């Protein structure tokens, strides 16, 4: 049975200008993400992993090339309903507690029914029950990252993009977090694209995309 | 490192720095402009007082004294610009024999004036007919004698009769002063000027009455009228009063036993110094809240960057910067920002000065600009350095991470400081209102001036208490009224309402502070606007009181205004015309002005304020007058002096058709305190029809015209009609405002008003726009996160608009209430400014509507900009603001 094509990128390039000089953060990037895919994006710091994830999430526009989301619909409706995003930096809304941060994506999608039940389930899934009423400023970096992960799954998205989700966690906690994420993805059939430095985490993914100095090398290219 | 730090600040915190600089600019400009105004207005009051003094000093040479020595003493005591010898002599009567009859007056005076006197002091004389080259008769005397220029009048005096040729007729405008008794105790009842007098050249006077310079002449004496050198007077009325009073004392010591002094200039300055102090009090009551608000706003703007400052300092410490290095950086930052803001503010104040009638340069401007610059730099140090010191020595790691903070119940709230302040304000206000005291007490003739500073407590406590109560209300509403808040923001936020209500609750500390700022700024605009409008209204009432009506036609006994009443009433632009008698009546030996009116219709042409009457009810008093033909209203002073009770019969002596005084019975029916055209001291009000019937003189000397549109054109038309009648004068409201020199309401405070109103708008816009913008800037990362996880611009706008609605809605509501209360308190406390006191507050609806619109426009722009910034490049904001 053929899987649904969620994202297609073709010859993407993303340039930035810094100190009057233009440089490519990402170039010649092509690839696809299908429903249920497990993609690890690996590469050195500053290689362009985050840029790629932001482009896949529709958060940024490419300088050239094309990107489309055939299985997810128009770009304006991607987040938070179709794509859940976990950012590398702290990304919880500071003036909402953990539970409110979790239900926020549902309300942004205008899905106010059963939000408490869904939030409770997510808290349980990611072992965050004891933090339910804490404010972001009362959480450690790792705890905040777990809440971000849980929030990314709240709307039942078809694709979760996570940028270094275990970067601030110890090995055991990181493993638990990824277990929970995989379990949730297996259950829902969602695709996962996760940028990571951790070879152990990367090894759990069926597909690896290597980003090196702005160039994306997909499995096909790796084989060739 | 310092330069690198400052340039980094400019690059990355330019918005916040501009905000702080703007706050300092406003505070400095307001202080510099207000200070310059106060200094300038004091100088204006002095020059006006000087201009209104008819003769600075009248020095009466006592019989047998050496006038040359006294003249020398005068020049030694004070710098003078001219000294005139003036002869005074009593005459038994004046007589004029015409072709048909002989007219003889009662006793009178003969005044001998130096030839240059009238040319030097022209404002005291109004030439009605002929010229002043020879003997001139006073208007009343000419009327009594039926004499005209070219006629010969016989002067009956002790040493024999003499005939003098009359060359002119004048109205002696300063008769009260010129004929005042000199050397009587302070507080003695004023003496009316003589009804009959002739002015003759001094050499002719000396021939008639002999030289009185060195020899005693029982019925004649000499005065030296002195004009002081006004250029040497201090600009401040109080200082000028002390200077002139002390110079007078010096002269009195020099001429003791040989001459007596009437220090008229000191009397005029005495009145002005009270007004000058009132101007300073106004500055404190009206201007100080604006300056304090600008300072608080600046400090709030600085405080809004506190989190980032804490993080910056933590970074510096991590990289090895010592505490002293961090403090040096903070001090340089404060001085750079403060210096820039203070200098810009002083320059802005000077350049905008002409808009408010203020000078661009000058000593006052320089002094107050320097003061304001120092204050501005001090403010920057207070706003920027003190928090740095505080966070450097007291900050913990946990507190450095706090982004919400301030949600604990503050100490003042637990101590109910707001309620206590409001309670005390009410108590002080009640005491003030009940006792009816004056804030400024400048006792006549006493150099010391007392200001009751406790009066300041009521508005100060009201401001503080209201701001704190506003914060308490906002905190309580957001904490305990979640359902109400949710319902209120639902139209703006839809499904997001519950989470936005939670968000507002978490930010209640910050929102309460922002609301308090908006409330204070709106309150300042409302109180300033209402007070100033009420003040302007009262200034018009004051002018109306002085002039009588929009246009007033003042006739004489021989040519009363009602001679042309039909023509006056028919003039284009005249909507109502009323005519009243203005005569003189003796109450015992006291000569007072008496006004005969038609109580039923007088109000159609001029305002009949409740404050004019002792019972505070104009309608009832006039009804009483109308119901009792012989009723008379008298002044408080007369009631006291003659121990009158309501209903007491009182006999007044009024002039009959032949000019002789005859007794007319009246009934004391009420107290009158002020009345259009009436003098400030004692006067009487009665029914015109009764006076006419009892005296046999029916004319009404004064015509009061109410106009629609341009009073000046009505004045010109009326003057055209009046010119056929000698002595008939026409004046309009605008003239009166320039004439009243000693009353504060008459002093041109338009500059202060426009200054305050302009700064009120700036502060209102600053408090709403800047606070909102910086509030949004502080939370830009949060809004970027919202966008990054998928919030649409309208959903981000729902968050921002909801809190804006809370801050602006509650702030405006509280501000309007506070502003109204403060204006009411100010009007009651500053009763001395108003003459008469206002019956109700005047609300400047167009101004308030303009302020409201400006606030809405600025808020809308800020909001749209905030949403745009949050919705564009969210990842960039998240990276930059981490």
DSSP assignments along A132-147, one per residue: TT--GGGS-HHHHHHH
Q: What are the pLDDT digits (tens) for B816-829?
A: 999 999 988 888 88
Q: CA geometry: angle at B12 spanning B10 and B17, to 5°?
A: 50
pLDDT value for B741:
41
pLDDT value for B219:
75
Using a CB-CB cut-off of 8 Å, the residues of chain A touching B502 are: 96-97, 100
Token readout for B774 is 């910086």
Widest distance between CA atoms in chain B = 115
Token readout for B408 is 């604990």
Average confidence (pLDDT) over B272-288: 76
Collapsing DSSP to helix, strand or coil, B730 comes out as strand
Res B104 pLDDT > 60: yes
Q: What are the pLDDT digits (tens) for B144-163?
A: 788 888 888 999 887 788 88
Distance (Å, rounded) from C-alpha B98 to C-alpha B110?
Answer: 22
Average confidence (pLDDT) over B38-64: 82
CA distances from A133 to A98, A129, A152, B277 (A): 6, 9, 18, 60
Contact A94 B503 (CB under 8 A): no
Residue A220's pLDDT band (boundaries 50, 70, 90)?
low
pLDDT value for B389:
77
Distance (Å, rounded) from C-alpha B736 to C-alpha B547?
Answer: 6
Higher pLDDT, A91 or B734: A91
Higher pLDDT, B176 or B369: B369
Q: For helices B793-829 and B482-493, what crossing angle results, to 10°?
A: 120
Q: What are the pLDDT digits (tens) for B830-878?
A: 777 776 677 788 888 998 999 999 999 999 998 888 888 877 777 776 6
Distance (Å, rounded) from C-alpha B417 to C-alpha B671?
Answer: 45
Distance (Å, rounded) from C-alpha A188 to C-alpha B520?
Answer: 55
Out of B426-440, B521-535, B606-620, least confident range: B426-440
Token readout for B99 is 């072709």
Instruction: Give the other-Cβ count within 10 Å of A160's Cβ.
Output: 23
Distance (Å, rounded) from C-alpha B549 to C-alpha B677?
Answer: 9
pLDDT value for B430:
86
Contact A79 B789 (CB under 8 A): yes
Res B248 pLDDT > 90: yes
CA dihedral sign, ordered B621, B624, B626, B630: negative
Q: Chain-wide mean pLDDT for chain B?
A: 83
Residue B395's pLDDT band (boundaries 50, 70, 90)?
low
Distance (Å, rounded) from C-alpha A137 to C-alpha B403?
Answer: 7
Q: Name the range with the highest mean pLDDT among B386-390, B612-616, B731-735.
A: B612-616
pLDDT value for B277:
77
Q: Identify the residue among A72, A77, A108, A157 best suited for mutation to test binding to B, counting B beta carbons within 10 A and taking the highest.
A: A108
End-to-end CA, chain B:
23
Widest distance between CA atoms in chain A = 51
CA distances from A161 to A76, A79, A214, B567, B783 (A): 17, 11, 18, 94, 20
Q: β-strand A64-68 against A5-18: which pairing, if any?
A: antiparallel
Task: Choose among B759, B782, B790, B791: nearest CA to B877.
Answer: B782
Give A80→chain B minimum CA distance, Å.
5
pLDDT value for B394:
61
pLDDT value for B541:
78
Q: Chain-wide mean pLDDT for chain A?
A: 88
Average confidence (pLDDT) over A110-135: 90
pLDDT value for B835:
65
Ramachandran angles phi, psi of B281, nearest 5°: -65, -40
Does any CB of chain B come closer than 8 Å to the CB of residue A43? no
Res B576 pLDDT > 50: yes
pLDDT value for B778:
77
Res B609 pLDDT > 80: yes
The DSSP bridge partners found for residue A9 are A31, A67
ipTM of model: 0.92
Higher pLDDT, A74 or B723: A74
**Window A:1-30, CB contacts with B under 8 Å:** none
Ramachandran angles phi, psi of A204, nearest 5°: -80, -10
Element (H, E) at B813: helix B793-829
Out of A5-14, A48-57, B474-483, B765-774, least confident range: B765-774
Distance (Å, rounded) from C-alpha B578 to C-alpha B606?
Answer: 8
Res B77 pLDDT > 70: yes
Give A47→chain B minimum CA distance, Å.
16
Res B522 pLDDT > 70: yes
Residue A98's pLDDT band (boundaries 50, 70, 90)?
very high
Contact B788 A85 (CB under 8 A): yes
The DSSP bridge partners found for residue B82 are B227
Higher pLDDT, B614 or B401: B614
Q: Which of A89, A100, A103 comes nearest B879 by C-beta?
A: A89
Beta strands of B507-647 (E only): which ranges? 551-554, 574-587, 590-597, 631-634
Element (H, E) at B220: strand B220-228
Token readout for B672 is 């009158």
Contact A89 B882 (CB under 8 A): yes
pLDDT value for A158:
93
Residue B611's pLDDT band (boundaries 50, 70, 90)?
confident
The distance from CA B587 to its chain's CA centroid, rounded to whole angstroms, is 35
Using a CB-CB cut-off of 8 Å, the residues of chain A touching B878 are: 87, 89, 91
């002789």: which residue's tokens?
A: B660
Using a CB-CB cut-off of 8 Å, the residues of chain A touching B779 are: 94-95
- Predicted TM-score of the model (pTM): 0.77
Cβ-Cβ contacts under 8 Å for B845 (sequence gap 6 or more): none
Contact A89 B789 (CB under 8 A): no
Average confidence (pLDDT) over A15-23: 81
Task: Using CA atoms of B202, B206, B209, B211 in order, give the dihedral in degrees to the nearest 10.
Answer: 130
Distance (Å, rounded) from C-alpha B619 to C-alpha B627?
Answer: 12
Res B223 pLDDT > 60: yes
Task: Choose among B636, B668, B641: nearest CA to B652.
Answer: B668
């Amino acid at each position: 049975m053929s899987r649904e094509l969620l994202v297609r990128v073709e010859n993407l390039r993303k340039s930035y200008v810094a100190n009057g000089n233009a440089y490519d953060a990402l170039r010649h990037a092509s690839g696809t993400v299908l429903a249920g895919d497990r993609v690890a994006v690996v590469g050195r710091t500053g290689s362009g992993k985050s840029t790629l994830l932001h482009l896949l999430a529709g958060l940024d526009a490419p300088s050239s090339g094309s990107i489309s989301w055939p299985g997810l619909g128009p770009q304006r409706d991607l987040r938070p309903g179709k794509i859940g995003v976990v950012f590398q930096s702290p990304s919880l809304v500071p003036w909402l507690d953990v539970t409110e941060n979790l239900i926020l994506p549902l309300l942004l999608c205008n899905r106010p029914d059963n939000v408490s039940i869904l939030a409770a389930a997510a808290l349980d899934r990611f072992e965050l029950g004891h933090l339910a009423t804490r404010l972001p400023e009362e959480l450690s970096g790792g705890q905040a990252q777990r809440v971000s992960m849980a929030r990314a799954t709240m709307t039942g998205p078809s694709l979760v993009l996570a940028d270094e989700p275990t970067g601030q966690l110890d090995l055991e906690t990181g493993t638990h977090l990824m277990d929970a994420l995989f379990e949730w993805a297996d259950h829902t059939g969602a695709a996962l694209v996760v940028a990571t430095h951790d070879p152990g985490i990367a090894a759990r993914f069926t597909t690896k995309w290597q980003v090196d100095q702005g160039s994306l090398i997909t499995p096909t290219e790796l084989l060739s | 490192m310092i330069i690198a730090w400052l340039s980094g600040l400019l690059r990355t915190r330019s918005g916040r720095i501009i905000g702080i600089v703007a706050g300092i600019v406003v505070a400095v400009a307001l202080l510099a402009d207000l200070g310059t105004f106060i200094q300038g207005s004091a100088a204006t009051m002095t020059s006006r007082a000087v201009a209104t003094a008819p003769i600075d000093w009248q020095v009466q040479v006592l019989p047998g004294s050496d006038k040359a020595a006294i003249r020398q003493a005068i020049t030694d005591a004070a710098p003078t610009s001219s000294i005139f010898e003036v002869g005074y002599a009593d005459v038994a009567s004046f007589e004029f024999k015409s072709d048909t009859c002989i007219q003889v007056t009662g006793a009178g005076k003969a005044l001998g004036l130096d030839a240059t006197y009238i040319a030097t002091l022209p404002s005291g004389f109004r030439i009605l007919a002929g010229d002043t080259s020879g003997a001139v008769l006073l208007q009343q005397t000419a009327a009594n004698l039926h004499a005209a220029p070219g006629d010969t009048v016989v002067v009956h005096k002790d040493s024999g009769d003499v005939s003098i040729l009359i060359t002119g007729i004048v109205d002696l405008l300063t008769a009260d002063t010129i004929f005042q008794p000199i050397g009587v105790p302070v507080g003695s009842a004023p003496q009316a000027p003589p009804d009959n007098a002739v002015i003759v050249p001094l050499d002719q006077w000396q021939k008639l009455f002999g030289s009185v310079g060195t020899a005693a002449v029982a019925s004649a004496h000499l005065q030296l009228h002195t004009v002081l050198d006004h250029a040497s007077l201090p600009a401040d009325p109080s200082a000028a009063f002390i200077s002139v009073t002390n110079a007078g004392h010096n002269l009195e010591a020099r001429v003791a036993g040989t001459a007596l002094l009437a220090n008229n200039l000191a009397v005029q300055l005495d009145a002005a110094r009270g007004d000058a102090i009132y101007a300073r009090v106004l500055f404190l009551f009206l201007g100080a809240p604006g300056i304090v608000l600008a300072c608080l706003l600046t400090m709030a703007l600085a405080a809004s960057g506190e989190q980032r400052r804490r993080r910056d300092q933590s970074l510096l410490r991590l990289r090895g910067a010592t505490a002293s290095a961090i403090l040096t950086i903070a001090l340089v930052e404060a001085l750079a920002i403060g210096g820039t803001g203070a200098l810009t503010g002083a320059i802005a104040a000077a350049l905008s000065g002409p808009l408010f009638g203020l000078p661009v340069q000058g000593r006052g401007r320089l002094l107050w600009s320097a003061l304001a610059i120092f204050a501005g730099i001090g403010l920057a140090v207070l706003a920027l350095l003190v928090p740095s010191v505080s966070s450097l020595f007291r900050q913990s790691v946990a507190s450095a991470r706090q982004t919400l903070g301030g949600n604990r119940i503050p100490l003042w709230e637990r101590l109910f400081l707001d309620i206590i302040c409001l309670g005390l304000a009410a108590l002080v206000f009640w005491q003030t209102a009940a006792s009816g005291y004056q804030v400024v007490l400048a006792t006549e003739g006493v150099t010391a001036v007392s200001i009751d500073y406790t009066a300041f407590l009521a508005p100060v406590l009201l401001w503080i208490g209201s701001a704190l109560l506003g914060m308490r209300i906002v905190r309580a509403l957001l904490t305990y009224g979640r359902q109400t808040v949710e319902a209120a923001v639902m139209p703006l936020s839809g499904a997001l309402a519950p989470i936005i209500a939670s968000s507002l609750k978490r930010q209640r500390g910050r929102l309460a502070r922002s609301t308090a700022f908006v409330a204070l700024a709106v309150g300042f605009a409302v109180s300033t606007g209402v007070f100033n409008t009420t003040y302007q209204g009262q200034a018009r009432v004051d002018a109306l009181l002085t002039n009588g009506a929009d246009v007033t036609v003042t006739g004489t006994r021989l040519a009363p205004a009602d001679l042309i009443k039909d023509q006056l009433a028919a003039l284009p632009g005249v909507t109502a015309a009323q005519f009243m008698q203005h005569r003189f009546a003796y109450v015992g030996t006291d000569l007072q002005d008496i006004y005969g009116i038609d109580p039923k219709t007088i109000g159609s042409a001029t305002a009949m304020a409740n404050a004019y009457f002792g019972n505070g009810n104009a309608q009832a008093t006039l009804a009483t007058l109308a119901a009792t033909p012989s009723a008379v209203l008298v002044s408080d002073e007369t009631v006291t002096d003659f121990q009158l009770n309501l209903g007491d019969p009182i006999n007044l002596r009024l002039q009959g058709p032949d000019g002789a005084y005859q007794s007319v019975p009246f009934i004391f029916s009420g107290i009158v305190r002020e009345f259009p055209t009436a003098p400030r001291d004692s006067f009487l009000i009665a029914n015109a029809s009764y006076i006419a019937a009892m005296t046999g003189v029916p004319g009404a000397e004064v015509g009061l015209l109410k106009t629609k549109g341009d009073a000046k054109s009505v004045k010109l038309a009326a003057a055209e009609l009046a010119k056929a009648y000698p002595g008939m004068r026409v004046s309009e409201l605008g003239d009166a405002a320039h004439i009243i020199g000693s009353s504060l309401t008459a002093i041109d405070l338009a500059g202060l008003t426009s200054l305050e109103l302009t700064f009120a708008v700036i502060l209102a816009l600053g408090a709403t726009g800047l606070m909102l913008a910086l509030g949004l800037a502080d939370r830009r990362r949060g809004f970027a996160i919202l966008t990054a996880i998928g919030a649409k611009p309208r959903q981000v706008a729902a968050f921002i608009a909801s809190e804006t609605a809370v801050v602006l809605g509650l702030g405006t509501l509280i501000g309007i209430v506070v502003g109204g209360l403060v204006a009411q308190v100010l009007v009651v406390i500053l009763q001395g400014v108003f003459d008469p006191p206002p019956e109700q507050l005047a609300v400047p609806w167009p101004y308030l509507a303009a302020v409201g619109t400006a606030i809405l426009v600025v808020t809308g722009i800020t909001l749209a900009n905030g949403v745009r910034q949050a919705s564009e490049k969210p990842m960039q904001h998240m990276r930059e603001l981490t």
